Structure 1
């Protein structure tokens, strides 16, 4: 089994903190209507969605780059061999 790939977390911590802190900032703002109002559907939920999508994009991009770097370091090893790479055995009884 291969090693677990972990992207560089320098930018992900701030984005993840913003994702979870935005709810608290929203609830603490004075004069904001309660959750589920038209304001939430028009802006707040979109902001949460964009932050979450951005965080997912950073994680996926980091994994892609890590796989490319590891393949460049070891071009002769294939982490996921195809069905043609299995050793063949002669049929039984011959």
Structure 2
């Protein structure tokens, strides 16, 4: 149970730390959603939040890959999840 809790803690912490950094980069490079009448947001919104989550997931998987209950037991499954997330990220970037 400790390994799963550690994995969750690492992922949550990295996501929390990376999101503002990626948000600033998105604003700097103008990767933003502009305000339009049909949208709900009322101010310019950064678009690269998925990159922060993808980076956090990848770094977390690297950090826990040698843990017995997480990395070693599910290495093939975790690779599949990471590749699928990479595909979703790519589609999101292209969209």
TM-score, with length taken from structure 2: 0.38
Q: Which has the larger radius of gyration?
A: 1
Which of structures 1 and 2 has the larger relative contact order (alpha carbons within 8 angstroms, sep 6+)? 1
TM-score when normalising by structure 1 = 0.38
Q: Counting helix residues as a fraction of each chain, which structure ranks higher?
A: 2
In terms of fraction of residues, the more strand-rich structure is: 2
